[in-house]
Chain A
Amino acid sequence: MSIFAKGYQARKIRRRYLERTLGSIASVLIIFWLTINFIKSPSQFFQASIIGLSNGVLYALIALGYTLVYGIIELINFAHGDLFMLGAVFSANFIAIWFGKSSSSPGAWLVFFGCLICVMSVSAGVNVGIERFAYRKLRRAPKLAPLITAVGVSFVLQFIGLRWNGSGPKTWNSVLPPGQFEISGVTIAYTTLYAIAITLPLLILMTWIVTRTRQGKAMRATAQDQDAARLMGINVDRTISFTFALGGALAGAAGLIFQQTRGLTSYNLGYQLGLIAFTSAVMGGIGSLQGAVLGALLIGLIQGLNDGLPIGLGQQWSQTVVFSILILLMAFRPTGLLGKPVTEKV
Chain B
Amino acid sequence: MTAMLEVKDLQVAYGAILAVKNVSLTVNQGEIVTLIGSNGAGKSTTLRTISGLLKPKAGTITFLGERIDGKEGHLIVQKGLCQSPEGRRIFPRMSVRENLELGAFLRNDKTVIAEDFEKVLELFPRLRERIEQKAGTMSGGEQQMLAVGRAMMGAPKLLLLDEPSMGLAPVLVDMIFETIVKIREQGITILLIEQNASAALDVADRAYVLESGTIKMSGKASDLAKDEAVTKAYLGG
Contact = CB atoms under 8 A, between A and B. Distances in A.
Interface of A: 214, 217-218, 220-221, 224-225, 227-228, 230-236, 340, 344-346
B77 A231 contact: yes
A218 B85 contact: no
A232 B88 contact: no
A227 B85 contact: yes
Contact of A235 (B51, B72, B98): B72
B89 A228 contact: yes
Given A221-B91, A344-B136, A231 B106 contact: no
Contact of B103 (A225, A232, A344): A232
B87 interface: yes
Nearest to B143: A346
Interface residues of B, number: 31
B63 to A, nearest CB: 14
B82 interface: yes
Given A224-B92, A231-B73, A232-B102, 5 more contacts: A224-B93, A225-B89, A232-B105, A232-B150, A233-B154
Nearest to B72: A235
B163 to A, nearest CB: 13
B53 A227 contact: yes
Contact of A217 (B72, B90, B102, B154): B102
- Most A-side CB within 10 Å, residue of B73, B98, B140, B154: B73
Contacts, number: 72
B88 A230 contact: no
A227 B52 CA distance: 10
A344 B140 CA distance: 13
Contacts of B136: 344
Contact of A228 (B74, B85, B106, B140): B85
15 contacts: A221-B94, A224-B91, A224-B92, A227-B48, A228-B85, A228-B90, A228-B91, A230-B77, A231-B73, A232-B102, A234-B74, A234-B102, A236-B73, A344-B92, A344-B136
Given A231-B51, A231-B83, A235-B74, A344 B93 contact: yes
Contacts of B151: 231
Contacts of B150: 232
B78 interface: yes
Interface string B45-82: 00010011100000000000000000011100110001
B77 A232 contact: yes
A227 B87 CA distance: 12
Contacts of B51: 230-231
Contacts of B106: 232-233
